[in-house]
A and B are shown apart, each in its own frame.
Chain A
């Protein structure tokens, strides 16, 4: 009698512990991402935006600044071609970042965007961005990395300056490892 009560309670408590583990691994990270996307927290900008025709607000000028950073000992040269520009909300704008791999080995880089002020993050749309993919540069190679964006006409009135920063990560190891795995898979399939 007592034993079965203990067994019932133990099962319930173990289930609680198990569900908290599931919560931590499978629910908290997506929840956090969703929360960041809604609030613009951490300045994460959204993924590829499908341009919709919108009236260009020529009365308003918003300053967009570009910043390039490096993570760890990333040796590439990486900078915006234009540091700062004034754009009208609604108009599609093109710019490029310049990247050079000065080392003697082939490398893969990944740029991660972050935008301030956070509340502008959901009003900054990228229709094309080099940050959507990894960038592979051979030893000594240079490239122009394209960025095409639209500032949403609904941008809150108080925001006159948007700073978009890219941090460049060295993902050579990770990317080539995945590449090797893919090759291995296809070889096995072949």
Chain B
């Protein structure tokens, strides 16, 4: 039975096809990436010079808050879910996701969640202005009225993520082709399986913490209000019990993508496959017992400081295993440097830098100086931008020929890479210096001695932003046409996704493939 996509808009509204839904997730994520990026540029434009030039402090605070929320929940997470939708069925030889209608639902509630979140910018009192971590009582007693809309949008995003995660677990556990044992699965599938469990475990905690905020604001409870017998520090514990696993939700799938790309362009099988699986599982486990390293300065007993310090440092061990494996995969490989590989190598190097500044922050006594400075901003942007964003970009370049059947423009891809690489480092490296010198984060104005490094960072931010337009242009041009890609696309890549034609037909693996 010939069964193609419907025509017109209803194709996208009613689709249960994993490829359609994957594409929608990716486009949605890119739109949010540009929106969050524009907010970052407002921040950097204001910080170009000391003093207030462009925006008022109230609006500046809304920009830092919305930038964080949109990038975390709107750009990075949906992009990974989009890649999972596209690739996991094709990687494990399944015809589609296990729960295709829920898949449609989990995507289509997202635009509403973010429309609601973005609409707070136009409300009386403005958008949420308390930072993306929305610490109580800033987000309860002192919050703008729009906070209620923020809470509901978080609820919807959480529901979407949980449904997406359930779908991914059901697909991986129930839909693998015969012969595809767990330890034969590509690492992207493995990392997503573990990530999906993390999502199911912690997104309800996020929903819980915003629900408690809602009750404190509207129903007279005092979970986080000291005046009523509650404790604002409880907020931080609950939030970071969600927040730290969330950090790994944003990085584990990236590990999977890079573990797919590096072997292809090094022309060697991945070094230490099973150690990669165990390292991923260890990182996921450790993520649940390190949350209080975000709050060393709240006044914990020394035993607590020490426990969370050592547990945090322990994460460097499985992460080090991974970096070692990637480097060893490249060692003596016959490497070529196509765009996906450039992004993957930059990932390994820059993510390691971010990991090292993380180790510095893990040292509890030193953290008292670094806490809430630009050093923290530099650290998490070094893990998230080259970590999550670069790996997603690498994945898009790597699989785009399979999706569209056309090769992207390699020169333009390299231009994108170098602009992004230089822009990123120019933006975020100076933040280490101003942070160590004491510049606090989330301020619209700063002391004069930080001016030079801030100017450099702002220039880099606009360069990085411009690079993304090259990316958009390149992707749109590839979707429209271009040199035809072969079925294998690359030089002997590994994986079932390369056994289907390019572009991948609307339905793949209607009969399960034979897995050796």
Q: Which A residues lie at the B interface, using CB under 8 A?
A: 2, 5-6, 9-10, 13-14, 16-18, 20-21, 23-25, 28-29, 32-33, 36, 39, 41-42, 44, 71, 110, 112, 118, 167, 169-171, 174, 177-178
Q: Is the CB of B170 within 8 A of A24?
A: no
Q: Is the CB of A21 within 8 A of B226?
A: no
**Between A and B, how many residue pairs show CB distances below 8 Å?**
97
Query: For residue B166, which residues in chain A have a CB less than 8 angstroms away from its CB?
Result: 9-10, 13-14, 17
Q: Is the CB of A20 within 8 A of B200?
A: yes
Query: For residue A9, which residues in chain B have a CB less than 8 angstroms away from its CB?
Result: 166, 169-170, 173-174
Which one of B170, B203, B220 contacts A6 once the chains associate, using CB atoms below 8 Å? Answer: B170
**Consensus secondary structure, chain A interface:** helix
Contact-size category for B = 35 or more
Q: Is the CB of A20 within 8 A of B204?
A: yes
Query: For residue B242, which residues in chain A have a CB less than 8 angstroms away from its CB?
Result: 24
Q: Is the CB of A20 within 8 A of B201?
A: yes
Instruction: Give Cα A144–Cα B205 distance, bound, in whole angstroms.
Output: 44
Q: Mark B445-484, 1 if CB is under 8 A from A, else 0.
A: 0000000000000000000000000000000000000000
Instruction: Give Cα A93–Cα B165 distance, bound, in whole angstroms.
Output: 59
Q: Which B residues lie at the A interface, using CB under 8 A?
A: 98-99, 162, 165-166, 169-170, 173-175, 200-205, 207-209, 211-212, 220, 223, 226-231, 233-234, 237-238, 241-242, 299-301
Query: For residue B169, which residues in chain A have a CB less than 8 angstroms away from its CB?
Result: 9, 13
Q: Is the CB of B212 within 8 A of A25?
A: yes
Minimum Cβ distance to chain A for residue B216 (Å): 11
Q: Is the CB of A39 within 8 A of B301?
A: yes
**Consensus secondary structure, chain B interface:** helix
Q: Which residue of chain B lies nearest to A170 when distances are taken between CB atoms in the complex? A: B227
Q: Is the CB of B220 within 8 A of A178?
A: yes
Question: Contacts A6-B174, A9-B174, A20-B200 known; A171 to B99 CB distance under 8 Å?
Answer: no
Q: Which residue of chain B lies nearest to A111 when distances are taken between CB atoms in the complex? A: B227
Instruction: Give Cα A9–Cα B203 distance, bound, in whole angstroms.
Output: 18
Q: Other than A2-B174, A25-B212, give 6 A-B pairs with Cβ distance below 8 A.
A: A24-B212, A25-B208, A28-B234, A32-B237, A41-B301, A177-B220
Q: Is the CB of B200 within 8 A of A169?
A: no
Q: Which 9 A-B pairs have the closest CB atoms?
A: A24-B208, A169-B227, A20-B204, A21-B204, A24-B205, A25-B208, A13-B166, A17-B204, A112-B226
Minimum Cβ distance to chain A for residue B330 (Å): 37
Q: Can you list 8 A-B pairs, Cβ within 8 angstroms, ordered by A?
A: A10-B170, A13-B169, A17-B203, A20-B201, A24-B208, A42-B231, A42-B299, A174-B220
Instruction: Give Cα A5–Cα B169 distance, bound, in whole angstroms.
Output: 12
Q: Is the CB of B227 within 8 A of A71?
A: yes
Instruction: Give Cα A28–Cα B212 distance, bound, in whole angstroms.
Output: 11
Q: Is the CB of A32 within 8 A of B234?
A: yes
Q: Is the CB of B220 within 8 A of A10?
A: no
Which one of A10, A20, A28 contacts B237 once the chains associate, using CB atoms below 8 Å? Answer: A28
Query: For residue B209, which residues in chain A have a CB less than 8 angstroms away from its CB?
Result: 24
Instruction: Give Cα A6–Cα B102 distance, bound, in whole angstroms.
Output: 12
Q: Is the CB of B231 within 8 A of A21?
A: no
Q: Is the CB of B98 within 8 A of A17?
A: no
Q: Is the CB of A17 within 8 A of B200?
A: yes
Minimum Cβ distance to chain B for residue A186 (Å): 18
Which one of A20, A23, A171, A177 contacts B227 once the chains associate, using CB atoms below 8 Å? Answer: A171
Q: Which residue of chain A lies nearest to B226 when distances are taken between CB atoms in the complex? A: A112
Q: Is the CB of A28 within 8 A of B241?
A: yes
Query: For residue A174, which residues in chain B have a CB less than 8 angstroms away from its CB?
Result: 220, 227-228
Which one of B205, B223, B233, B301 contacts A20 once the chains associate, using CB atoms below 8 Å? Answer: B205
Q: Is the CB of A21 within 8 A of B207?
A: yes
Which one of A16, A110, A167, A178 contacts B201 once the chains associate, using CB atoms below 8 Å? Answer: A16
Q: Is the CB of B227 within 8 A of A18?
A: no
Instruction: Give Cα A29–Cα B230 distance, bound, in whole angstroms.
Output: 9
Minimum Cβ distance to chain A for residue B433 (Å): 35
Query: For residue A44, which residues in chain B have a CB less than 8 angstroms away from its CB?
Result: 231
Instruction: Give Cα A90–Cα B202 distance, bound, in whole angstroms.
Output: 47
Which one of B204, B223, B228 contacts A29 once the chains associate, using CB atoms below 8 Å? Answer: B223
Q: Is the CB of A20 within 8 A of B220?
A: no
Minimum Cβ distance to chain B for residue A67 (Å): 15
Minimum Cβ distance to chain B for residue A109 (Å): 9
Instruction: Give Cα A34–Cα B238 distance, bound, in whole angstroms.
Output: 15
Q: Which residue of chain B lies nearest to A35 when distances are taken between CB atoms in the complex? A: B237
Minimum Cβ distance to chain A for residue B94 (Å): 11
Q: Is the CB of B227 within 8 A of A112?
A: yes
Minimum Cβ distance to chain A for residue B229 (Å): 8
Q: Which residue of chain A lies nearest to B229 when distances are taken between CB atoms in the complex? A: A112
Q: Is the CB of A13 within 8 A of B200?
A: yes
Query: For residue A18, which residues in chain B have a CB less than 8 angstroms away from its CB?
Result: 204
Query: For residue B223, which residues in chain A have a CB less than 8 angstroms away from its CB?
Result: 29
Instruction: Give Cα A16–Cα B205 distance, bound, in whole angstroms.
Output: 11
Query: For residue B170, which residues in chain A have a CB less than 8 angstroms away from its CB?
Result: 6, 9-10, 13
Question: Contacts A6-B170, A9-B169 known; A23 to B205 CB distance under 8 Å?
Answer: yes
